[in-house]
Amino acid sequence: MRNIVIIGATSSIAEHCARLWTKQGDVTLTLVGRDAQRTERVAADLLIRSNYAEIRVVITDFLSPSSIKATADQIAQKGVIDIILIAHGSLPDQHDCEQDLNKAHSALEVNAISPVLFAEAFADHLAKANHGTLAMIGSVAGDRGRKSNYIYGAAKGLVTRYAQGLQHRFHNSGVRIILIKPGPTDTPMTSQIKAAGARLAPVDQVASDIVKGIESGKPVIYTPAIWQLIMSIIRHLPATIFNRLNI
Amino acid sequence: MISVESWGRIGIYPHNIMHLTAPDQALSIVKNNHPGIAYGMGKSYGDACLNPGQLLWNTRGLDHFIHFDADNGRLTCEAGVLLRDIQQLFLPRGWCLPVTPGTQLITVGGAIANDVHGKNHHGFGSFCDQVLRIQLARTDGSIIECSRHSSPDMFAATAGGVGLTGVIITAELQLRHSPNLWLETETIPYYGLEEFFYLSDSSETEWEHTVSWIDCLSGTAAKGLFMRGRPARDYDKATQPRRSRNIPITPPLSLVNRLSLKPFNLTYYQLQKLRPVQRHEYYEDFLYPLDHLTNWNRLYGPKGFYQYQSVVPRDSGMATTQAMLDAIASSGEGSFLAVLKTFGQRQSIGMLGFPRPGVTLALDFPNNGDATKKLFERLDSIVRDAGGRIYLAKDARMSREMFEAGYPLLNEFTRYRDPGISSALSRRLMGS
């Protein structure tokens, strides 16, 4: 019986990963969310899809360090964790962030500080057990700052640097740290850019890449895989060329 | 604005799209943003799911199961759940949907809104016969729960009501015990409608599923293949999920055309005849044969295609069907996917529901402009004279007169419409 913890369980990508995990066989799922009603909705659905797996719902404040710590301690107490997926996030409008520092502040909190604090809160428990995989959802946007979304990109860049640090810390141990970098994915979070005509990857494909990637243990997973190539080019463009691009 | 087309691809139109992602959020979106029409998988062939230049509420985010009672098979789910997901999840547990149409890639909401039917109509009726309860979000901000017992009129208006009575948010469905994932099937060649009706009538008690393919170019003694299936007894085999194939691009011309149709029909007929008469088929292969061919609608080329599906009463069914086949043959237009089937005794519970006792003929025609429309007018007059009707889920072109003649409960239906909901179809056929 695998023990899987999902932070930000109402995120569409996380939910589709959970659906795949329930298909794979016996799991215990702990769903951590902000909104009780939305999280219970996901839990009820997974309960039916999994043919009545054990599913726990934990509601907590995602921005309070003490709540995050208490949540991690409480979950870790229930048993050895096999997989933790930290999936929450929101896509802010870059222009809004430039106009209103409160929006920039909240985007940085939700997309950078909160996931890092969750990971940090679980890291000690993983170290003690010397077991488990911690996967964080970053973004291709974190690979290089771009004028069209650099607040979000900066937050995801922070997650990238943090995950590198954790990978260093847990090198040669029983704990694995995985950073997932999805390209733009078709979820409620991206409905604004979808309405603007952007091409988005289907969420079930992204979820399937993530579940397989976590199994494989690769330290960094791009999904869809083509983004590894695209971002490699974008990272290596000299600033003189890059800064002229309208991206 | 995003370009959206329906399954027939007759036209592609810009739409505003708003995504419904949770029941409470859906209610507030529908209340604060209208007029619009719900859009699920876009498998309606005509304009029932379109609202050019205006708003679509995309329901695919409402894809959660809510409750399942394993003692009595009652399933409550959100309206954007696909029939495929229900089948794949519950069949291994011994339950399935009693009625599904020829594709399972449609939403529960769409299945209710069109009161879809399948090959087992004679035994199980149409989709809404298994619907116990519907929850609607109305544009005035209210939620209406309806069933056969509470607000039965609203229930009857919503079943087959092409989305015009409110946005279907959740539904409770009665699943049935699934007998077997495998069906024993038979394919029997027939000549002429007399043989078809004989085969249909004599199969109805012993066979759950009946349907037939008919070569609509083959003249008076129409050549056809009668297919029937029933849950297999004592048969089980492991299956690999079948790989889907995709039609990746739209060919510049319809691949179904005057030159190709005769050889197509002949080849199909001969190939089917080569296969053993009695076989075992996996339920997905028998019930949803085209689901493995993604985007098959592109085969009809950039101008798209029409589907013409009618039902006429049984008494005059043979003569009417023959008259329709004759009209098609003499028009020079032809149909490859021509399906002929008898309906059982159950009338749709819906005020605008399509299924009724009689015989239904479904025909695909590549869009050849005026020539195709002219043939449809000829077919309309035959159907109208016989007291029949055209299926709204398929229609993109019938006249208001034809619609009113086929749907006598229209005036009653209008009373239950949500004034904040409008589609291309509702404006074409109901004026608003």
**Residue A199: per-residue pLDDT:** 79
Tokens 């995709």 belong to residue: B246
Contact A191/B at CB under 8 A: yes
- Which residue of B16, B24, B65 is in closest CB contact with A49? B65
DSSP string, A74-94: HHHHTS--SEEEE-------H
Find chain B residues with C-beta within 8 A of A191's C-beta.
18-19
User: Span B179-207, mean pLDDT?
Assistant: 93
Q: Which CA distances in Å does B362 have to B61, B91, B114, B342, B359? A: 31, 29, 15, 11, 10
Query: Does the beta carbon of A23 lie under 8 angstroms from any beta carbon of chain B?
Result: no
| % of chain B at pLDDT higher than 90 | 81
Highest mean pLDDT among B88-102, B211-225, B260-274: B88-102
Task: Quickly tell me which residue has 């850019």 as its tokens.
Answer: A193
Beta strands B12-19 and B2-5 are antiparallel
At B180, the pLDDT band (50, 70, 90 cuts) reads confident
Q: Is B365 exposed, middle or buried (0-12, 13-18, 19+ CB in 10 A)?
A: buried
Residue A35 pLDDT class (50, 70, 90 cuts): very high
**DSSP strand pairing (A175-182 vs A132-137):** parallel
Mapped onto helix, strand or coil, the DSSP state of residue A175 is strand
Cis peptide before B355 (omega within 30 of 0): no
- What is the reported pLDDT for B267? 85
pLDDT tens digits, one per residue of B299-348: 999 999 999 999 999 999 999 999 999 999 888 888 878 899 999 999 99
Mean pLDDT value across residues A151-177? 97
Which is more confident, B246 or B136? B136
Q: Which residue of A has its CA nearest to B20?
A: A188
For chain B, the average pLDDT equals: 94
Amino acid present at B363: L
Statement: residue A195 has pLDDT above 70: no
Touching check for B89 and chain A: CB below 8 Å? yes
- Asked whether the beta carbons of A53 and A22 are under 8 A apart, the reply is yes
Candidates B22, B65, B66; nearest CB to A38: B22
CB pair distance less than 8 Å for B2 and A195: yes
Task: For residues B250 and B267, give the distance between their C-alpha atoms in angstroms, rounded to a whole number.
Answer: 23
Interface test with B, best of A13, A16, A41, A185 (most B CBs within 10 A): A41
With vertex at residue A45, the alpha carbon angle to CA A78 and CA A179, rounded to the nearest 5 degrees, is 60
Contact B19 A191 (CB under 8 A): yes
Q: What's at B187, amino acid-wise?
A: T
Mean of per-residue pLDDT scores for chain A: 94
Mean pLDDT confidence for B109-121 = 98
| A51 inside 8 A of chain B by CB | yes
pLDDT, position B216: 83
DSSP H helical segments within B275-366, as ranges?
283-287, 317-331
Q: Assess contact for B197 and B82: CB atoms under 8 A.
A: no
Under an 8 A CB cutoff, do A188 and B61 touch? yes
Contact A41 B64 (CB under 8 A): yes
Residue B189 φ/ψ, nearest 5 degrees: -65, 145
Work out the percent of chain A whose per-residue pLDDT is above 90: 85
Residue-level pLDDT at B234: 84
Indicate whether B213 pLDDT > 80: yes
**Is residue B275 scored above 90 in pLDDT?**
no
Could B65 and A44 be called an inter-chain contact, meaning their C-beta atoms sit closer than 8 Å?
Answer: yes
**What pLDDT shows up at residue B29?**
97
> Measured between CB atoms, does A199 come within 8 Å of chain B?
no
**Lowest-confidence pick of A129-138, A184-193, B36-45, B115-124:** A184-193
Q: How far apart are CA B131 and CA B83, in angstroms?
A: 13
Average pLDDT over residues B365-391: 96
Q: B277 pLDDT exceeds 70? A: yes
The per-residue pLDDT for A166 is 98
Interchain proximity B19–A45, CB inside 8 Å: no
Task: Please report, for residues A49, B187, B224, the alpha-carbon distance to residue B290 in angstroms, rounded to integers and kept in the order given.
Answer: 26, 18, 19
Q: Which residue is closest to A191 within chain B, CA to CA? A: B19
Going along chain B from its start, the domains and CATH numbers come out as 182-397 (3.40.462.10)
Alpha-carbon span B146 to B156, nearest angstrom: 9
Q: Determine, for residues B89 and A195 on separate chains, whether the beta-carbon distance falls below 8 Å.
A: no
Pairing of strands B339-343, B358-366: antiparallel
| Contacts across the A-B interface (CB distance below 8 Å) | 34
In chain A the first and final C-alpha atoms are separated, in Å, by: 45
Test mutation, A45, A50, A189, A192, chain B, max B CBs within 10 A: A45
The nearest alpha carbon in chain A to B59 belongs to A188
Find the residue in B nearest to A190 (Cα): B19
In chain B, which among 184-223 make CB contacts under 8 A with chain A?
A: none
Q: B255 pLDDT band (50/70/90 cuts)?
A: confident
